[in-house]
Structure 1
C-alpha cells in the first residue's frame, strides 16, 4: 500500500492546454484602460486631484498616487512609449503557459526595471503591466486523478497472510516499512488513550479558560466589551490545546511545527497584547509538560509566540503578520541552535530543525490570516482583511453612494480623513476601523439625497414640509442605512457606526422650528419625534466618528476662515 501511495503522490499533475483567448482578453482590457487614461489626460475642465481620483477608481486595477501622477505628467511621446511597453509585456508573457502556482514569478518578470525608459516611465510600466498578467493554464483534476490512478495500478501488490498466533516480528529484528505497515494493519501500533493524559489536558485547558475569564472581568475596560470576542478566545485556546496534544503524540518532528505564533497574533489583535502574552506563556508551559525535551520545547514555543506578538506593531496591514511570522521563525531558530548544536554530532539534523522553525514561522503567518477570516465569519469579529476590502473606494456600496449622493460621498471621505487623524492620536483605538466606519456611516442618505444639505443645489425640499416630517426624514437615514448594511452584509462593527454616530441627540434645527410655530410652548411639541433612536456611542471608535461628523458638517456650513475660528468651532 505504501508503494502504491508513493507512486500516486509522485504522478505529475496534468494541466489544460494554453488558452490564448485569456491573453487576448487581458490585452483588450489593457487597451481599454489606456483609452480611458487618455480621456482623463485630455480633460481640461477637471483638476489634477479629480483626474487622479478618476484613475484610481478604475475597477480591478490598483493605481498608486505616484503612478497616477506620473500618468498625468508624462509628455505625449513618453506616455505612448510607456503604453506600448506595457502592452508588449502583456502580449509577450500571456503567450507563455502561466500556471496559478507560477503566477507570482511571471508577475515578477513583468515588474523588472527597464534600461531604456526614464524613471517616470519605468514606474508606470512596472506598476501597471504585472496587474494584467493572469493564469492561462489550469489544473485538469479529472486527467490528474486518472494519471495517479494509472501510476497506482502500475505498482504490483504485495500480499502477506498472517495466521492466528503467528509471530509477526522478533525482538532485535530490523523493522522495515513493510513491517510497520503490517503492524498498523493489524492494529498493533495504535496508542492507547491514558485517562491521566486526558485529565491533564482537560485541567490545563480549564486553567487557561479560568485565567481568561478572570482577566476579562478585571480588565474589561481595556478589551472589547463583546461576548463574541470572549467566545472566540475560549474556543481558540481549546483548539490550540488539543492541537498541542495531538502533535506531541505524532512523529518527533511534528511538534516543531506547532503554530503557537498564530494563537499569539490572533489573541493580540482580538483582545490585546497583555492577555496574549499570558496565554502564550501558559500554552508553552503546557507543551513542555506533556512533551519530551520539555525545557527545549517550552522555550521553543514561548520564543516563537512572544517574538511574533511583540513585533506585531501595525496589525492593520497584512504584511505586518508576515513580518511577525519572520520574527517567530527567528525565535524558533535561535532556540533550536541553542539546544541542538551542542548535542548533535552532525550538522544535517540541526539544519533540518532550523528549516522546521523557518517553515513554522511562515505557516503561522498564513494561518493567522486564515484564522481571522474564520473568526470573523463565525463570531462576527471584524478582521484586517475585511477592513482592507471595505476601504477600497470601488466597493459597490460606495460607488452607489457616489452616483446617488455625491455630496454625502464627499462628506463621508472628509469625515473619514478627520476621524482617522484623531484616532491615531488616541491609545487603544483602531484607526483603520474608524476610517472604514466613517466611509459608510451615512449610506442611508442615498435613499433621499435632496433632503440633505450637502446634496442640495439651490432648492430645499424641507421648505414645504412640516418640521416633524422633515425631522423624521433626517432621522430615517440611520434605519435606512442599517437596511443597506444588512443587504450588503457589512460587518456588525461597521453597522455600529451607522446606528451610533448621532446617538440619541435631537434634530435641533427642526425642533426649534417646531417650537417657534407654537410660540415656544414645549408642551405642544413631542420631543421624541425629533430625537434619534440611538444608542449613544458604545466604543471609542464610534465616538470619534460622531465628533468628526459634527465638526465636518458644522465647518462646511459655517466655513471658518482662520485657525482661531476653527479652534472655536471644534471646542464648541
Structure 2
C-alpha cells in the first residue's frame, strides 16, 4: 500500500527541472551548520591572533599601573562635592615658610648682611609643615580649585598610594588587566562576527594593536595642563581606522579606546561624552576621501562637535564661563589639528595598512600614468578593452554599494601584462593569429602569463597593493576554454585521450586554468565579470538586446557554478544587480544607429 501510494505520488506530482544553481557544489552558508564562535578560538592561528590582542591588553595595563593614580581635577574646576583626605599626609606650607625665612633674614645684624649670610639663614630656617589627618577637608563643595588645592590633592593622592599595602597594588593591577581584557574581548567578538577579513589577517591585527598602544602612550604624554591634548591622538586614530576599515569598526574601536583612556587618566562621564561626541561625528561624516582638504573639513566638524559637547557638559556641571570658553576653544583646536595631521600622514597610512584612498585613486585614474601611456602605444586594442571594461564595471560596482572609483582604476590596469606580448591577444591582432603555429598548451602558457607579467610591471611601477590584486584576481582560476577544447580535440584525433571519470574534472583541466587566486573583494568580482562579458560580446556577429542578455546570464552562471565568487563576498542578490547593470551597459554600448540615406548621384 505504501509503495503504491509512493509510486502514484511520484507519477502524478509535477517535477521541476533542476536549476543551474542547484548544480553548484560549492559551499553553502547555513546558520545551522556554522561552527560555534567559541569553538573557532581553538585553533593555532586563532590563538596566535588572540595572544597578540592579550599582549596589547597587558601593555595597556602596565601603562595604566605604572603611570600612577590618575588626578582627575584641574585648576579652575568647580567640584560638585567636597574633597577630603583619604590618608594622613604632610605638605610644606610654602607661603608660611617663605614668610618665616624672610623674618629670619630681617633679624640679621646690619654688619653681617651679605648674600652668603642671607642664604645660610634661609637654609637654616626649617620649612613650615601642615599636617592633614585622614578625613581632613581639602576642597569645599562648589569652590573652584586653585593651584594650592591642586598641590594638596596631588600630595594626598601620593600619600594614599604609599599607605596601601601590597595586596592593594596587586588587586589594582588585576582589576586593570581584567577591565582592559574585557574591552579587548568585546572588540575580538565584534571582529570575529562582522570583520572576517581582519579576523583572518595577523599582520593587520598587529597593525591595529600597535596603533592602539601608540594612541594610549601619546594620550598619556599629551594629557598635561594647560593643553590636555588627549583628544588629538584619539581623533587621529578614529579617522585612520575609518579610512583603513569602515565606520562601524572605527566606532567600536573609538569607544573602547576612549574607555581605556578614561580608566587610565581617571576620566569622568562628561569627558567620555565629549570625546565620543567628536570622534563619532568625525567617523560618521568622513565618507570617501577624494581630497586632502576633506580630512581638514572633517577635523573642523569634529572640533565643532567637541566644542558643543564641552559647552553642554560643563554647563550641566556648573563650571565657570571662563573655563567653558577655554575648554571649548581647545576642543575645536584639537579637532582641526587632528584633521591636518591625518591629511599629512595619509601616504603613511596607505602604506602601513596596505589600502588605497580615493585621493590616490584619482591620481591613478589620470590617463597620463606611464603604464597606461605605454599600454596605448604597445597594445591599443587592450587599452580600448580596459577602458570599456571600466565603463561597464563602474556603474555595476556603484549599484551594489562597492567602491566605483577603485573598480574603475582596477579595470584600467587589470590587463597591463598584455603589453609585453600584445600580438598574442586577439584585440591587438590585425589578421595573423600567432597561436595557429603553437600547441594549445604553449598558447595557454602565453595567455596565462599576462597575469604574472602584469604583477611584475605593477610592482616595478609601485602600484598600490589593491590595484595589484585586480591584476592577480581578475581571471580567478577560470579555464582557458578555447585552447582547452582545442587540446581535447587534438587528443581525441590522435587517440591518446586520458581516462576521464564521469562527475570528476578532466585530467587536462589544471593545465589550462589560471593560477588564481579567486576574487577576494566585491570590486574584483565585478571586474572579472565585466571583463568576461566585454570580451565575449566581441564574438557576437549580431549583438541584439536579447543575445546580449543571454550572454551576460551565461557568463555569470558559468563563473558562479565554477565557484569563482566564493571568496569575493558577493551575494546572489548583488550578482543579480551586477547582471542587470552589465546588460544595460552592453546594450547601450552596442546600440543601433539610424542609417543615413546616401546622397543621390546626378546623372552625367
Normalised to the residue count of structure 2, the TM-score between the two structures is: 0.58
| 1:103-141 Cα shifts (integer Å, max 9, x gaps) | xxxxxxxxxxxxxxxxxxxxxxxxxxxxxxxxxxxxxxx
Q: State the number of aligned residues.
A: 394
Structure 2 residue runs without a partner (length 5+)? 1-117, 131-146, 148-154, 163-168, 500-506, 555-604
Partner residue of 1:434 out of 382, 407, 410: 407
| 1:280-328 Cα shifts (integer Å, max 9, x gaps) | 2222233333446622211110101111111123345545433432331
Q: Which has the higher helix share?
A: 1
Q: Write the distance in 1 (CA, Å) between the matches of 2:275 and 2:127.
A: 38
| 1:500-553 Cα shifts (integer Å, max 9, x gaps) | 111122211122222233336642984433221112222222111111110111
Partner residue of 1:397 out of 349, 363, 371: 371
Offset of 1:198 from its aligned partner?
7.9
Single out whichever of 331-340 and 217-226 deviates more from structure 2. 217-226
Q: Write the distance in 1 (CA, Å) between the matches of 2:542 and 2:247.
A: 42
Structure 1 residue runs without a partner (length 5+)? 1-160, 173-179, 181-187
Partner residue of 1:258 out of 229, 232, 245: 232
RMSD over aligned Cα, in angstroms? Answer: 3.6
The match for 1:421 is 395
Q: Which secondary structure does the structure 2 equivalent of 1:476 belong to?
A: helix
Task: Flag the 1:517–1:257 CA change in 2: closer, same or farther, 3 A.
Answer: closer
- 1:211 maps to 2:186: yes
Q: Which secondary structure does the structure 1 equivalent of 2:228 belong to?
A: helix
Contact 2:261 2:267 in 1 (8 A): no
Partner residue of 1:245 out of 215, 220, 232: 220
- 1:462 maps to 2:435: yes
Offset of 1:239 from its aligned partner?
1.6
Equivalent residues in 2 for 1:158-177, closer than 5 Å: none
The match for 2:485 is 512
Q: Which has the higher contact order (CA 8 A, sep 6+)?
A: 2
Contact 2:277 2:305 in 1 (8 A): yes
Task: Flag the 1:292–1:216 CA change in 2: closer, same or farther, 3 A.
Answer: closer
The match for 2:548 is 566
The match for 2:534 is 552
Q: Which secondary structure does the structure 2 equivalent of 1:251 belong to?
A: coil
The match for 1:334 is 308
Q: Write the distance in 1 (CA, Å) between the matches of 2:180 and 2:377.
A: 53
Equivalent residues in 2 for 1:157-196, closer than 5 Å: none
- 1:407 maps to 2:381: yes
- 1:388 maps to 2:362: yes
| 1:226-281 Cα shifts (integer Å, max 9, x gaps) | 33332222222222122222223x12432364342322222233332222222222
The match for 1:276 is 250
Q: Which secondary structure does the structure 1 equivalent of 2:475 belong to?
A: coil
Offset of 1:372 from its aligned partner?
4.0
Equivalent residues in 2 for 1:10-409, closer than 5 Å: 205-221=180-196, 225-248=200-223, 250-255=224-229, 257-291=231-265, 294-315=268-289, 318-341=292-315, 349-409=323-383
Contact 1:500 1:536 in 2 (8 A): yes
Offset of 1:460 from its aligned partner?
2.0
Single out whichever of 370-379 and 561-570 deviates more from structure 2. 370-379
Q: Write the distance in 1 (CA, Å) between the matches of 2:541 and 2:280.
A: 50
Contact 1:261 1:361 in 2 (8 A): yes
Q: Write the distance in 1 (CA, Å) between the matches of 2:470 and 2:273.
A: 43
Contact 2:232 2:335 in 1 (8 A): no
Task: Flag the 1:247–1:201 CA change in 2: closer, same or farther, 3 A.
Answer: farther
Contact 1:405 1:455 in 2 (8 A): yes
Partner residue of 2:519 out of 537, 540, 545: 537
Offset of 1:354 from its aligned partner?
3.0
Q: Write the distance in 1 (CA, Å) between the matches of 2:543 and 2:514.
A: 31
Single out whichever of 254-263 and 270-279 deviates more from structure 2. 254-263
Task: Flag the 1:224–1:206 CA change in 2: closer, same or farther, 3 A.
Answer: closer
Q: Write the distance in 2 (CA, Å) between the matches of 1:505 and 1:231.
A: 34
Q: Write the distance in 1 (CA, Å) between the matches of 2:363 and 2:204.
A: 22
Offset of 1:380 from its aligned partner?
2.9
Offset of 1:570 from its aligned partner?
0.9
Normalised to the residue count of structure 1, the TM-score between the two structures is: 0.61
Single out whichever of 212-221 and 197-206 deviates more from structure 2. 197-206
| Structure label with greater radius of gyration | 2
Task: Flag the 1:473–1:374 CA change in 2: closer, same or farther, 3 A.
Answer: same
